[in-house]
Chains A and B, each alone.
Chain A
Amino acid sequence: GQQVMQIPQYQHVQEGEDFTTYCNSSTTLSNIQWYKQRPGGHPVFLIQLVKSGEVKKQKRLTFQFGEAKKNSSLHITATQTTDVGTYFCAERDDKIIFGKGTRLHILP
């Protein structure tokens, strides 16, 4: 069935280091969405990418959609303690399929 695979599952970084999570699919994605869920919280929508090769930035966050629309990445520059949480990618077609998420832990 339709699946989006996310790697890594966990990531520990020192505060100030960069962080990247990847989302991959064996089939072409119609779009990709990214969400952040803080510990004990609920998912919060970050962004949606639709076009092949699209790149969007939100402050220290950079989102990319692959040329073949089969992968996407979220890159955080100079992580801060407020970046802690789980980052999910998801494809929305008639249903929404979430990846398993990457849990980011920041070491002070």
Chain B
Amino acid sequence: KAGVTQTPRYLIKTRGQQVTLSCSPISGHRSVSWYQQTPGQGLQFLFEYFSETQRNKGNFPGRFSGRQFSNSRSEMNVSTLELGDSALYLCASRERTSLNPSSYNEQFFGPGTRLTVL
């Protein structure tokens, strides 16, 4: 199976702009989670989508949003970019066989999108 793919791999934007990142999960995986990774804050959970619905959300402002399509592909959007949004944005997919959040399947990360905000 092909792994998780993310596009674009690199992106440079300026403050105030918005950006949309895309994630294609492993075939058959219905859950997609997004993470922000920075040297200072480490890996932080943004949100998780399953069956086109946001199931869990981290502690990020409303400028960070996402969605999931019927084919399980997901996008995340960041509006009104700030310098502090510069980070590696990772998505991860997993099989999720029930709506119970504690039912666990291994998650697989994509290579990430490196966003630089100038």
Query: Which A residues lie at the B interface, using CB under 8 A?
Result: 1, 30-31, 41-45, 48, 88, 90, 92-101
Contacts of B108 in A (CB 8 A): 45
Q: Min CB distance, B96 to chain A, in Å?
A: 12
Is B111 a contact of A95 with CB atoms below 8 Å? no
Contacts of B101 in A (CB 8 A): 93-94
Is A44 a contact of B45 with CB atoms below 8 Å? no
Between B33, B57, B109, the greatest number of chain A beta carbons within 10 A of the residue's beta carbon is seen for B109
Query: Which B residues lie at the A interface, using CB under 8 A?
Result: 33, 42-45, 48, 56-59, 90, 92, 101-102, 104, 106-112
Q: Min CB distance, B16 to chain A, in Å?
A: 29
Query: Out of B42, B45, B48, B110, which one reaches A42, CB within 8 Å?
Result: B110
The A interface, classified by DSSP as helix, strand, loop or mixed, is loop
Contacts of B43 in A (CB 8 A): 43, 88, 90, 98, 101
Is A95 a contact of B58 with CB atoms below 8 Å? yes
- The complex places the Cα of A95 from the Cα of B58 at a distance, in Å, of 7
- Interface pairs (16), CB distance under 8 Å: A31-B104, A42-B112, A43-B109, A88-B42, A88-B43, A92-B102, A92-B104, A94-B102, A95-B48, A95-B56, A95-B58, A96-B33, A98-B44, A98-B45, A101-B42, A101-B43
- The complex places the Cα of A68 from the Cα of B108 at a distance, in Å, of 29
